């Protein structure tokens, strides 16, 4: 049975583990995401800031978490919205300070309005103030002002505060290694994403529109506990698939063309991210099949090779060479595959990476190089494997019959010491399986 939520004890364990890496006197200040106004009285759907969520599990906007290292422990102060019966008639229940103390393992909770006055005092004994710096300029400014206030309060003879420090190096490293609870959520996100893709394939047919497919895909996400997408769905038919992040999703589906769907559901805050490419009329043409098999072979080879100890950039290089060799063998382009990869010419046909970290963010946190050297995979890292080939419609250097074809195949995997665990296997990618599924359309 999937555990659908991360327990409050797990959030507390993360806080403890993170702060145990910091020196005595350190404090971490984190801001919840604000609500964003779309237009008059209408907000964008609220999504909690991933860092804030990862360490607190607190779901409301406009909150500040202050985590002070105290020996081996953490003292957690939360500033959050006060309960307001009138407002709650409009927007639903607010957790409030009592709720935070009862359910979120908070040591102290105060109204957000008191933060300006209380925070400098709370930080007066600290030596280092950590936060997520350089991502949100409004938060950076709040922190600079806070630091000034702390300086004013403590004066020259006060605590030797060393300044503001970015927590992302330590925090991103933690987020890269997924716990079993997180992996369960990623498995579920993968399953729901796959169900959406099956529905999308069944909705694709000549005469339908890209948005018809989008509607079927996202309706299926919704049918699974109200899930939403993890990023804006890309529903790209024909040459639209050559635009990597195509979002118009409004073209009619044409007999003889392919459709490329790149979409994923978010479950429990964790992202799925799948791409599939299929023939709109139900049957790959010879040319489409030839190109598809190159991408499929590169994708399956990369999944088979992705395991602990492998360097991320080596996997990308091997995959790029396979793709280039494939189109050289088909006579689409002349050259030497390795040279084309090393010179960067590959980017004409394969302009993106072979995969990215996946987690609370679809393009999850974590650096890909350390001191100029590729990252080496470790167990419990989670990554996508998503090779593609894109033969641009206006590329006059290739024969006309090949132009305007874009293919991407993407799955999500959990790295282990052995074979990777694929979380998105429930949607076909073999040619015969895709054609069999499409034959079910009426
Ligand atoms: N949909 C974005 C990606 O696959 O990275
Ligand atoms: Mn991806
Ligand atoms: Mn994708």
Query: Which domains occur in the chain, in start order?
Result: 8-175 (3.40.350.10), 177-440 (3.90.230.10)
Per the annotation, the verdict on 356 as an active-site residue is yes
Task: Dump pLDDT digits (tens) for 401-422.
Answer: 999 999 999 999 999 999 999 9
Residue 412 CA to ligand 1 centre (angstroms) = 11
Each residue's pLDDT tens digit, 66-96: 999 999 999 999 999 999 999 999 999 999 9
Q: Which atom of ligand 1 is nearest to the CA of 275?
A: 4
Q: Cα separations (Å) of 299 from 82, 172, 293, 411?
A: 51, 27, 10, 9
Active site residue 24: no
Check residue 3 and give its pLDDT. Answer: 39
Ligand 1 atom nearest residue 410's Cα: 4
* Catalytic residue (one of 223, 363, 378, 441): 363
Answer whether residue 270 shows pLDDT above 90.
yes
Percent of the chain clearing pLDDT 70 (strictly above): 98
Q: Residue 125 catalytic?
A: no
Beta pairing partners, 385: 411
Note if 187 is an active site residue: no
pLDDT at 1 over 50: no
CB-facing half-sphere around the CA of 366: CA atoms within 13 A: 26
Q: Is 386 a catalytic residue?
A: yes
- Cα–Cα distance, 172 to 94 (Å, whole number): 30
User: What is the reported pLDDT for 158?
Assistant: 58
Dihedral over Cα of 136, 47, 9, 95: its sign: positive
Tens digits of residue pLDDT in 157-212:
656 678 899 999 999 999 999 999 999 999 999 999 999 999 999 999 999 999 99
Average pLDDT over residues 345-362: 98
Q: Above 80 in pLDDT, residue 22?
A: yes
Q: How far is the CA of 355 from the centre of ligand 2 (A)?
A: 6
**Phi, then psi, of 411 in degrees rounded to 5:** -130, 165
The span from the CA of 123 to the CA of 147, in Å, is 9
Residue 425 C-beta-side C-alpha neighbours within 13 Å: 9
Catalytic annotation on 75?
Answer: no
CA distance 271 to 175: 13
pLDDT average, residue stretch 416-442: 96
Find tokens 């403890």 and name the residue.
16
Of ligand 1's listed atoms, the one at least distance from the Cα of 352 is 5
Q: Single out the catalytic residue among 60, 210, 364, 386.
A: 386
Q: Which residue in the list 142, 408, 411, 412 is annotated as catalytic?
A: 408
Q: Which two tokens stand for residue 395?
A: 């590329």
Cα 352 to middle of ligand 2, angstroms? 10
Q: Residue 11 in 3-state DSSP? A: helix
191, 198, 390, 412: the active-site residue: 390
317 pLDDT more than 70: yes
CA gap 257, 239 in Å, rounded: 9
Which ligand gives the minimal distance to the CA of 246?
1
Ion ligand 2 residue ranges (Cβ < 5 Å): 273, 384, 386
262 is catalytic: yes
Tokens 């993890």 locate to 230
| Spatial contact of 143 and 116, defined as CB atoms under 8 Å apart | no
Ligand 1: lining residues by beta carbon, under 6 Å: 231, 262, 273, 356, 386, 410
Report how far ligand 3's centroid is from the alpha carbon of 141 (Å): 34
Answer yes or no: 390 catalytic.
Answer: yes
Tokens for 22, please give them: 């910091």
pTM above 0.85, yes or no: yes
338-344: which pairs have CB atoms within 8 A and are 24 or more residues apart? Answer: 341/317
Averaged pLDDT of the chain: 96
Token pair for 112? 């957000």
Atom of ligand 1 nearest to the CA of 363: 5
pLDDT of residue 75: 98
Phi, psi for residue 301 in degrees, rounded to 5:
-65, -45
Looking at the chain, how many residues does it have?
442
Q: Is 54 considered catalytic here?
A: no
Span 119-132, pLDDT tens digits: 999 999 899 999 99
Return d(Cα 193, Cα 99) in angstroms, integer. 33
Q: Which pair of structure tokens corresponds to residue 56?
A: 């607190």
Residue nearest to atom 1 of ligand 1 (CA): 262
Sign of the alpha-carbon dihedral angle for 14, 16, 22, 27:
positive
Shortest CA distance to 423 belongs to which of 188, 242, 245? 188
Of ligand 1's listed atoms, the one at least distance from the Cα of 231 is 1
The pLDDT assigned to 198 comes to 98
Q: What is the pLDDT of residue 426?
A: 97
Residue 120 and residue 122: Cα distance in Å, rounded? 5
List the catalytic residue out of 60, 273, 361, 364. Answer: 273
């Amino acid at each position: 049975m999937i555990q659908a939520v991360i327990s409050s004890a797990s959030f507390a364990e993360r806080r403890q583990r993170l702060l145990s890496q910091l020196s005595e006197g350190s404090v971490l200040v984190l801001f919840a995401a604000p609500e964003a106004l779309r237009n008059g009285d209408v907000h964008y759907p609220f999504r909690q800031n991933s860092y804030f969520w990862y360490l607190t599990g607190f779901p409301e906007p406009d909150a500040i978490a202050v985590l002070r290292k105290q020996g081996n422990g953490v003292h957690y102060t939360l500033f959050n919205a006060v309960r307001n019966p009138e407002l709650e008639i409009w927007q639903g229940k607010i957790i409030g300070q009592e709720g935070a103390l009862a359910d979120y393992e908070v040591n102290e909770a105060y109204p957000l309005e008191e933060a300006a006055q209380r925070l400098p005092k709370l930080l007066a004994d600290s030596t280092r103030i950590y936060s997520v710096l350089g991502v949100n300029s409004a938060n950076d400014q709040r922190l600079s002002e806070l630091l000034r206030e702390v300086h004013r309060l403590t004066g020259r003879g006060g605590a030797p505060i060393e300044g503001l420090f970015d927590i992302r190096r330590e925090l991103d490293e933690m987020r890269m290694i997924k716990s079993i609870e997180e992996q369960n959520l990623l498995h579920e996100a993968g399953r729901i994403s796959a169900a959406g893709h099956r529905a999308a394939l069944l909705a694709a047919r000549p005469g339908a529109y890209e948005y018809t497919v989008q509607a079927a895909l996202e309706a299926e996400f919704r049918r699974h506990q109200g899930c939403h997408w993890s990023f804006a769905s890309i529903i790209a038919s024909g040459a639209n698939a050559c635009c990597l992040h195509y979002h118009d999703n409004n073209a009619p589906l044409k007999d003889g063309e392919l459709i490329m769907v790149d979409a994923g559901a978010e479950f429990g805050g964790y992202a799925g991210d799948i791409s599939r490419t299929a023939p709109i009329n139900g049957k790959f043409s010879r040319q489409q099949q030839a190109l598809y098999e190159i991408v499929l072979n590169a994708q399956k080879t990369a999944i088979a090779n992705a395991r602990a100890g492998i360097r991320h950039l080596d996997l990308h290089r091997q995959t790029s060479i396979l793709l280039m060799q494939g189109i050289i063998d088909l006579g689409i382009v002349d050259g030497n595959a390795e040279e084309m990869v090393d010179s960067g010419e590959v980017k004409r046909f394969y302009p993106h990476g072979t995969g990215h970290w996946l987690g609370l963010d679809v393009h999850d946190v974590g650096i890909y190089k350390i001191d100029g050297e590729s990252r080496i995979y470790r167990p419990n890292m989670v990554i996508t494997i998503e090779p593609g080939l894109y033969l641009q419609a206006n590329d006059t250097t290739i024969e006309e019959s090949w132009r305007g074809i874009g293919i991407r195949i993407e799955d999500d995997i959990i790295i282990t010491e052995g074979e990777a665990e694929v979380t998105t296997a429930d949607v076909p990618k073999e040619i015969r399986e895709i054609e069999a599924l499409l034959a079910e359309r009426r």
